[in-house]
């Protein structure tokens, strides 16, 4: 436990320009090496040097990174340390962390780097109490986060899954510990079906995880278009009806103002390019370049056109630059005469893109717009109270491991392993899931055995 | 009037399954030992079922034998039926179970005690401990006799303030109407021990000649019985079968119609009963949907016609018990010889013990068996052998012996008791062991015989035989790894017969044996060992090879646990001084006094962050202590 290799994202969460994943342990270099493509292999790297290269996953480049190698003992933890510098934001760092965990690196506990630094004699004795405080504080925060997790939809689902596994395990245990009891032995087919069903259920949870992240942080939405097409009135209308939080940061460059809104239970983070709600003079300053940047950054683009005006070349170019993104064309001002060539417009759209006819002024078409957004992301099936999803790397990792354990159980069953061997894998899956919601083994198995079966002499 | 009656190294109070093992272990390790019992005719008595073994319990018997204890040898001499259970499952859960001739079992055990050098077996009811300088230094018997010793082991079973409940009839009694021990219970309370009230029960016994076995299914023993002891090589002839029948609808009606008279439900019973050993009335109330329950009829011995009615533990009034019995197919005319009853007794809260089974409150005092809140002969005997060993080691001035959870079910049992305590009489189940695959019936000797030899309970001869077996197992694995077979007709034929994939190239025997459908017998037919190997050696090789992947996985887990287990906690640590540990954890840690970080982490209510902080604190503590020593020496 104390000498294994651990990793964690060392930078604060949020939008920094770089993020650092720290890996510590005597095998840290050999864990990172196979993931890193560069001119010098990491194992040959000198201590305290930095290396440019790419993180690869099965030959596919995942991230462009700089990696520092620091060999024991002149390091923070007095163990070999590898620090991976990647692009900021949570996604890149989490992807890399995920790859490390999949290779068998353990996610560091709160304060564990500091703890190791202390246990390995790197930190002075007088700092022992400070270390304790740090562990306490970090654990408390982790605990609070876990508590929040443990009351949501996710934990209910995991509890259900675990309960299903627990019943299966209890039955197997009764077959083992009470061989003469009249509880029939479970058939291999039943075991495989149960394990397969549970694994399937967990896969769904993981699939939901990516959209869960989107929901947690909001779908980044850019409103783009020529001046005077009604962008600001669309934004104001959306915000007015649906405002959730305003994270206006005064005194900054005002390059980006974010508005959080919730549409039918879907949180949107509206990216407002500079001064979109300011005077018309400023609106005129927004060039095509600015719009391109907004398109680049967004998960969803609301492309506003004027029903009353013909399409211009600039608009078509801008639209073409967004053809890899989900775009909803908001044809505004439908209360005015139609001068736009909708047939031509339709012909240049990709199948991710659709048209909604709108009149912001007349309050027409908002329902259609909301439905279009929902359709795009969730096949129109999103439920408003379905908002707790698996989101962090640790959870996804545990879920993946539990699927692996269940698949092992199925494989063991198929090759004819005895039930007490199969049970090892099923129990492992059950314990891994327990780690997500902070429930450990304890007495619950015995409780289950004796409440589910009538046993005794 | 008191008088000085003798001086010993170790005194064992009680001669049940825990007491006899403790006394034998201590005496065999060279300590003069006194074993005191209320009634000399009750040595190693089985007050409940006439059987020993089964999953987890059988494993314990095997471990007792591997350590040099007596239970395995004794049951091998006195069984009337032997069965290996779970043979269709994996090797880790194969479990031997014997029906005992309970009278012969007692006689044999008593004879062994009487013949053991250094061991004095005497009748006497202990009423008080003798305490000097906060140490337990002897016992005082009801007759006034005072015995002195360096260590005392209490194995009082269900005798402490025992109370029998049989319908409306309630009276003070030990098991089977033996004298109960009241003064000793009160004395322990006065000494400040925390006691709990537990309950257990036993079914009625019936006369064989009034049973109609034609209406029941026969449950015979194995044709080629295995043994508990590694030393046994001779079987007992003429096994006697058990019989299986079921409760009927009428049985359930009778019980439901008399629930108002059931002490279980009327409030007459205050003790906590075990969930795994419910009375028949409890089963019928809690599992109302179950139309019938199994009833096994088991002979109590060869020289008696009394049969034990397994599955019918009850404290209903006597006449209701008879009606219940007669409602069961095959028992319509049955004569009940003794009624079942429930018994309540005092046990000490086992978290008051160290992992050596010595009490924290009173150095020199050890406890083992049902007094520690367990249930079952095997659980008692397992603790007995450990308490006896540790009492003797203490007298001899040697390091104590604590078994880890990966070394044996005995280790699991004791660690659970002293670390977590128990809210009901504790029974071992294989599911309580995290490393079940390592704790097998077949490898108890590999796990524990070296330890038994070190402490002096395994003779040099037996140890040499063990070493030889171990060597043969290793050599045979090397041979399998280095011997290849080619795709020759006789090899292909054997593979085809086993339903296995045929060979294209030469392959080593080890790889072939790993195939689930290939057994050691197949391998033997392909290329037999040049050395003659016993069945035990072959079995060991097959298991180690076949399950090596899974065994390896468990060994990795054990490795991780050992690192935590090896982080020892200083004995004089003051948890209240540790800033940052949660209050609940401080209380638990102060009470349990764990020996290691590993043990600390298993205490309910102690969180991973408490453990992290404790680790940091201990490191700090050790550094400060080391600095202080250095300063003192300079």
Q: What is the pLDDT of residues B393-424, one digit of tens each?
A: 999 999 999 999 999 999 999 999 999 999 99
- Residue in A closest to B289 by C-alpha: A454
Contacts of A131 in chain B (CB under 8 A): 616
Supply the angle between the helices B608-633 and B583-592 in degrees, to the nearest 10.
Answer: 60
pLDDT tens per residue, range B182-227: 999 999 999 999 999 999 999 999 999 999 999 999 999 999 999 9
CA gap B502, A50 in Å, rounded: 54
Count of H-run helices and E-run strands, chain B: 21, 24
Residues A260, A243, single domain; the answer is yes
CA gap A344, A332 in Å, rounded: 17
Contacts of A418 in chain B (CB under 8 A): 88-91, 93
pLDDT over 60 at A379, yes or no: no
Residues A149, A27, single domain; the answer is no
CA gap A299, A295 in Å, rounded: 8
Range(s) of the domain holding residue A362: 214-378
Query: Smallest CA–CA separation between A445 and chain B, in Å?
Result: 8
**Contact status, residue B539 vs residue B445, Cβ threshold 8 Å:** no
**Contact status, residue A6 vs residue A22, Cβ threshold 8 Å:** no
Q: Between A79 and A210, whose confidence is greater?
A: A79
- Retrieve residue B264's tokens: 């279980």
Residues A260, A139, single domain; the answer is no
Q: Do B293 and A131 make contact, defined as CB atoms within 8 angstroms?
A: no
Residues A225, A369, single domain; the answer is yes
Residues A307, A321, single domain; the answer is yes
Domain presence at residue A171: yes
- Retrieve residue A403's tokens: 């699927």
Query: Smallest CA–CA separation between A31 and chain B, in Å?
Result: 19
Q: What is the pLDDT of residue A392?
A: 60
Query: Smallest CA–CA separation between A361 and chain B, in Å?
Result: 58
- Residue in A closest to B274 by C-alpha: A456
Q: Which of B293, B437, B613 sits opposite A132 (nearest CB)?
A: B613
- Of A123, A139, A160, the position where a domain reaches its end is A123
DSSP string of A292-323, one letter each residue: HHHHHH-SEEEEEEETTS---HHHHHHHHHTT
Contacts of B252 in chain A (CB under 8 A): none
Residue A368: band (very low, low, confident or very high) from pLDDT cuts 50, 70, 90: confident
pLDDT tens per residue, range B304-321: 999 999 999 999 999 999
Query: Smallest CA–CA separation between A355 and chain B, in Å?
Result: 55
Residues A60, A77, single domain; the answer is yes
Residues 299-318 of B with CB under 8 A from A: 310-311, 313
Q: Do A424 and B619 make contact, defined as CB atoms within 8 angstroms?
A: no
Provide the CATH number for the domain around residue A430.
1.20.120.430
Domain presence at residue A443: no
Question: What is the longest distance spanned by two Cα atoms in chain A?
Answer: 90
CA gap A309, A288 in Å, rounded: 18
Contacts of B342 in chain A (CB under 8 A): none
Q: Which of A1, A177, A185 sits opposite B431 (nearest CB)?
A: A177
Mean pLDDT of A186-194: 93
Burial of B223 (0-12, 13-18, 19+ CB in 10 A): exposed
Contacts of B615 in chain A (CB under 8 A): 2, 115, 119
Q: Which of B55, B293, B620 sits opposite A454 (nearest CB)?
A: B293
Residues 152-171 of B with CB under 8 A from A: none
DSSP secondary structure code for residue B570 in this structure:
P
Domain presence at residue A384: no
Q: Helix or strand or coil: residue B18?
A: helix
Helix (H) or strand (E) holding B152: strand B151-154
Q: Which of A110, A132, A143 sits opposite B580 (nearest CB)?
A: A132
Domain presence at residue A186: yes
Query: Smallest CA–CA separation between A4 and chain B, in Å?
Result: 9
Supply the angle between the helices A393-414 and A188-217 in degrees, to the nearest 10.
Answer: 170
Our CA angle for A274, A275, A278, nearest 5°, is 175
pLDDT over 80 at A381, yes or no: no
Domain presence at residue A451: no
Q: How many domains does chain A have?
A: 3
Q: Do B89 and A118 make contact, defined as CB atoms within 8 angstroms?
A: no
Percent of chain A with pLDDT over 70: 72
Size of chain B, expressed as the number of residues it contains: 634
- Residue in B closest to A141 by C-alpha: B609
CB pairs under 8 A between A and B: 137
CA gap B618, B558 in Å, rounded: 23
Residue A437: band (very low, low, confident or very high) from pLDDT cuts 50, 70, 90: confident
Q: Between B563 and A127, whose confidence is greater?
A: B563
CB-based contacts of A428, cutoff 8 Å, min separation 6? A402, A405
Q: What is the pLDDT of residue A209?
A: 63
CA gap B512, B485 in Å, rounded: 9
Domain presence at residue A453: no
Q: Which of A2, A125, A445 sits opposite B620 (nearest CB)?
A: A125
Residues A259, A318, single domain; the answer is yes
**Contact status, residue A301 vs residue A221, Cβ threshold 8 Å:** yes
Q: Which of B431, B516, B579 sits opposite A417 (nearest CB)?
A: B516
Contacts of A454 in chain B (CB under 8 A): 278, 283, 286-287, 290, 293
Contacts of A446 in chain B (CB under 8 A): 275, 429, 431-432
pLDDT tens per residue, range B471-518: 999 999 999 999 999 999 999 999 999 999 999 999 999 999 999 889
CA gap B236, B205 in Å, rounded: 25
Q: Do B619 and A119 make contact, defined as CB atoms within 8 angstroms?
A: yes
Provide the CATH number for the domain around residue A337.
3.40.50.300
The verdict on B293 touching A (C-beta cutoff 8 Å) is: yes
- Of A57, A90, A123, the position where a domain reaches its end is A123
Q: Do A180 and B310 make contact, defined as CB atoms within 8 angstroms?
A: no
Partners of residue B272 on adjacent β-strands: B198
Residue A310: band (very low, low, confident or very high) from pLDDT cuts 50, 70, 90: confident
Residue from A176, A431, A453 whose CB has the most chain B CBs within 10 Å, to mutate: A176
pLDDT tens per residue, range B36-58: 999 999 999 999 999 999 999 99
Q: Between A455 and A44, whose confidence is greater?
A: A44
Query: Smallest CA–CA separation between B396 and chain A, in Å?
Result: 36
The 10 Å CB-count burial string (b at 16+, else e) for B491-514 is beebbeebebeebeeeeebbebbe
Q: Whole-number mean pLDDT of chain A?
A: 77
Q: What is the pLDDT of residue A136?
A: 64
* Runs of H (alpha helix) within B352-507: 377-395, 409-420, 444-455, 460-482, 489-497
The verdict on B93 touching A (C-beta cutoff 8 Å) is: yes
CA gap A178, A195 in Å, rounded: 23
Q: Between A24 and A106, whose confidence is greater?
A: A24
The verdict on B277 touching A (C-beta cutoff 8 Å) is: yes
Residue from B90, B92, B289, B412 whose CB has the most chain A CBs within 10 Å, to mutate: B90
* Closest alpha carbon to B191 in B363, B35, B23, B33: B363
Mean pLDDT of B357-366: 97
* Closest alpha carbon to B563 in A110, A113, A119: A119
Contacts of A411 in chain B (CB under 8 A): none
Q: Which of A128, A135, A182 sits opposite B609 (nearest CB)?
A: A135
Q: Do A1 and B560 make contact, defined as CB atoms within 8 angstroms?
A: yes
Residues A162, A242, single domain; the answer is no
**Contact status, residue B320 vs residue B346, Cβ threshold 8 Å:** no
Contacts of A442 in chain B (CB under 8 A): 604
Ramachandran category for residue B342: left, alpha or beta (phi over 0 → left; psi -120 to 50 → alpha): beta
| Cis amide leading into A73 (omega within 30) | yes
Q: Which of B287, B560, B616 sits opposite A128 (nearest CB)?
A: B616
pLDDT over 70 at B571, yes or no: yes
Backbone angles phi, psi at B545, to 5 degrees: -80, -50
Residue A148: band (very low, low, confident or very high) from pLDDT cuts 50, 70, 90: low
Domain presence at residue A185: yes
- Residue in A closest to B559 by C-alpha: A1
Partners of residue A300 on adjacent β-strands: A221
Our CA angle for B176, B375, B601, nearest 5°, is 160
CB atoms within 10 A of CB B518: 21
Contacts of A180 in chain B (CB under 8 A): 85, 294, 296
* Closest alpha carbon to B407 in B544, B572, B620, B561: B561
Residues 332-351 of B with CB under 8 A from A: none
Residues A404, A367, single domain; the answer is no
pTM: 0.80
Query: Smallest CA–CA separation between A179 and chain B, in Å?
Result: 6
Residues A283, A412, single domain; the answer is no
- Retrieve residue B551's tokens: 């065994």
Query: Smallest CA–CA separation between A121 and chain B, in Å?
Result: 9
CB atoms within 10 A of CB A410: 19
Q: Do B93 and A132 make contact, defined as CB atoms within 8 angstroms?
A: no
Contacts of B517 in chain A (CB under 8 A): 416
- Of A101, A123, A145, the position where a domain reaches its end is A123
CB-based contacts of A164, cutoff 8 Å, min separation 6? A194, A197, A198
- Residue in B closest to A111 by C-alpha: B612
Q: Helix or strand or coil: residue B512?
A: helix
Residues A372, A337, single domain; the answer is yes
* Closest alpha carbon to B282 in A452, A448, A454: A454
Contacts of B277 in chain A (CB under 8 A): 456-457
**Tokens 């509206």 belong to residue:** A270
- Retrieve residue B120's tokens: 């004095």
Query: Smallest CA–CA separation between B617 and chain A, in Å?
Result: 7
- Residue in B closest to A425 by C-alpha: B550
Contacts of B86 in chain A (CB under 8 A): 176, 179
Q: What is the pLDDT of residue B143?
A: 96
CA gap B444, B460 in Å, rounded: 18
Least confident of A206-210, A322-326, A329-333, B596-600: A206-210
CA gap B122, B141 in Å, rounded: 11
- Retrieve residue B460's tokens: 């040099």
Residue from B287, B580, B601 whose CB has the most chain A CBs within 10 Å, to mutate: B580
**Contact status, residue B144 vs residue B3, Cβ threshold 8 Å:** yes
Domain presence at residue A385: no
Residues A26, A93, single domain; the answer is yes
**Tokens 């049955």 belong to residue:** B334
pLDDT over 60 at B373, yes or no: yes
């Amino acid at each position: 436990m104390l000498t294994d290799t651990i990793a964690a994202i060392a930078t604060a969460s949020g939008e920094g320009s770089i993020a650092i994943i720290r890996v510590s342990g005597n095998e840290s270099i050999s864990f990172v090496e196979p993931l890193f493509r560069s001119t010098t292999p990491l194992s040959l790297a000198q201590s305290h040097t930095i290396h440019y290269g790419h993180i690869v996953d099965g030959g596919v480049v995942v991230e462009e990174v700089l990696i520092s190698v620091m060999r024991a003992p002149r390091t923070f933890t007095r163990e070999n340390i590898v620090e991976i510098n990647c692009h900021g934001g949570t996604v890149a760092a989490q992807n890399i962390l995920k790859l490390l965990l999949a290779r068998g690196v353990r996610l560091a506990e709160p304060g564990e780097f500091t703890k190791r630094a202390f246990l390995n004699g790197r930190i002075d004795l007088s700092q022992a109490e400070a270390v304790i405080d740090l562990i306490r504080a970090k654990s408390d925060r982790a605990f609070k986060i876990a508590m929040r997790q443990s009351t949501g939809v996710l934990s209910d689902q995991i509890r259900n899954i675990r309960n299903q596994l627990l019943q299966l395990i209890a039955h197997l245990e009764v077959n083992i510990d009470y061989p003469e009891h009249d509880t029939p032995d479970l058939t291999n087919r039943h075991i495989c079906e149960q394990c397969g069903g549970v694994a399937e259920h967990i896969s769904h949870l993981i699939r939901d995880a990516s959209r869960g992240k989107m929901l947690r942080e909001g779908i980044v939405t850019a409103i783009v278009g020529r001046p005077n097409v009604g962008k600001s009135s669309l934004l104001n209308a959306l915000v007015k009806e649906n405002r959730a939080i305003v994270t206006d940061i005064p005194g900054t460059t005002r390059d980006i103002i974010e508005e959080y809104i919730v549409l039918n239970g879907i949180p949107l983070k509206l990216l407002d390019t500079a001064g979109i709600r300011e005077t018309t003079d400023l609106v005129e300053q927004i060039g095509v370049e600015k719009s391109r940047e907004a398109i680049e950054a967004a998960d969803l683009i609301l492309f506003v056109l004027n029903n009353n005006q013909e399409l211009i070349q600039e608009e078509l170019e801008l639209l073409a630059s967004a053809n890899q993104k989900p775009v909803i064309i908001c044809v505004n001002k439908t209360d005015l005469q139609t001068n736009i060539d909708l047939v031509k417009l339709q012909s240049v759209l990709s199948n991710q893109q659709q048209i909604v006819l709108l009149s912001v002024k007349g309050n027409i078409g908002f329902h259609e717009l909301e439905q279009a957004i929902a359709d795009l992301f969730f096949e129109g099936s999103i439920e408003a109270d379905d908002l707790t999803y698996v989101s962090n790397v640790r959870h996804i990792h545990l879920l993946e491991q539990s699927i692996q354990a269940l698949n092992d159980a199925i494989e063991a069953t198929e090759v004819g392993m005895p039930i007490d061997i199969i049970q090892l894998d099923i129990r492992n899956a059950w314990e891994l899931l327990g780690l997500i919601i902070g429930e450990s083994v304890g007495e619950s198995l015995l409780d289950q055995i004796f409440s589910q079966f009538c046993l005794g002499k | 009037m008191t008088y000085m009656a003798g001086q010993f190294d170790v005194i064992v109070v009680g001669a049940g399954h825990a007491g006899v093992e403790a006394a034998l272990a201590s005496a065999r390790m060279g300590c003069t030992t006194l074993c005191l019992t209320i009634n000399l005719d009750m040595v190693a008595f089985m007050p409940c079922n006439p059987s020993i073994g089964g999953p987890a319990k059988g494993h314990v018997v095997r471990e007792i034998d591997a350590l040099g204890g007596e239970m395995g040898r004794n049951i091998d001499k006195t069984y009337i039926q032997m069965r290996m259970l779970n043979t269709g499952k994996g090797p880790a859960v194969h479990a031997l179970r014997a029906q005992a001739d309970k009278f012969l079992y007692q006689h044999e055990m008593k004879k062994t005690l009487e013949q053991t050098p250094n061991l004095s077996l005497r009748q006497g009811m202990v009423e008080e401990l003798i305490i000097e300088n906060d140490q337990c230094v002897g016992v005082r018997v009801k007759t006034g006799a005072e015995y002195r010793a360096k260590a005392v082991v209490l194995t009082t079973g269900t005798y402490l303030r025992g109370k029998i409940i049989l319908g409306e009839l309630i009276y003070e009694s030990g098991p089977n109407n033996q004298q109960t021990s009241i003064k000793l219970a009160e004395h322990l309370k006065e000494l400040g021990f925390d006691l709990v009230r537990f309950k257990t029960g036993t079914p009625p016994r019936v006369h064989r000649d009034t049973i109609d076995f034609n209406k029941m299914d026969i449950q015979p023993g194995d044709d080629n019985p295995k043994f508990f002891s590694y030393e046994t090589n001779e079987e007992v002839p003429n096994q006697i079968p058990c019989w299986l029948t079921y409760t009927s609808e009428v049985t359930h009606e009778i019980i439901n119609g008399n629930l108002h008279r059931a002490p279980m439900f009327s409030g007459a019973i205050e003790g906590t009963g075990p969930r795994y050993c419910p009375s028949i009335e409890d089963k019928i109330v809690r599992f109302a949907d179950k139309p019938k329950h199994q009833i096994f009829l088991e002979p109590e011995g060869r020289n008696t016609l009394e049969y034990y009615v397994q599955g019918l533990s009850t404290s209903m009034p006597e006449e209701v018990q008879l009606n219940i019995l007669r409602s069961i197919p095959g028992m319509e005319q049955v004569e009940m010889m003794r009624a079942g009853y429930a018994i309540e007794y005092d046990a000490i809260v086992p978290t008051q013990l160290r992992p050596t089974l010595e009490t924290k409150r009173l150095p020199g005092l050890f406890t083992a068996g049902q007094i520690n809140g367990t249930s079952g002969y095997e659980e008692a005997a397992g603790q007995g052998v450990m308490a006896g060993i540790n009492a003797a080691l203490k007298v001899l001035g040697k390091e104590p012996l604590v078994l880890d959870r990966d070394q044996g079910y005995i280790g699991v049992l004791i660690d659970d008791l002293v670390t977590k305590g128990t809210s009901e009489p504790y029974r071992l189940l294989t599911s309580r062991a995290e490393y079940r695959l390592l704790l097998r019936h077949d490898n108890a000797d590999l796990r524990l015989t070296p330890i038994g030899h070190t402490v002096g309970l395994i003779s040099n001869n037996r140890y040499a035989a063990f070493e030889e077996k171990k060597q043969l197992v290793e050599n045979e694995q090397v041979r399998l790894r280095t011997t290849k077979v080619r795709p020759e007709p006789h090899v292909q034929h054997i593979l085809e017969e086993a339903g296995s994939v045929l060979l294209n190239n030469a392959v080593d025997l080890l790889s072939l044996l790993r195939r689930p459908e290939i057994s050691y017998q197949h391998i033997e037919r392909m290329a037999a060992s040049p050395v003659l190997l016993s069945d035990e050696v072959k079995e060991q090789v097959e298991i180690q090879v076949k399950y090596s992947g899974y065994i390896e996985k468990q060994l990795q887990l054990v490795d991780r646990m050992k690192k935590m287990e090896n982080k020892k906690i200083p004995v004089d640590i003051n948890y209240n001084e540790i800033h940052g540990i949660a209050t609940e954890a401080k209380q638990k840690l102060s009470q349990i006094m764990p020996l290691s970080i590993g043990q600390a982490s298993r205490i309910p209510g102690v969180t991973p962050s408490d453990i992290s902080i404790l680790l940091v604190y201990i490191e700090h503590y050790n550094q400060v202590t080391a600095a202080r020593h250095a300063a003192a020496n300079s």
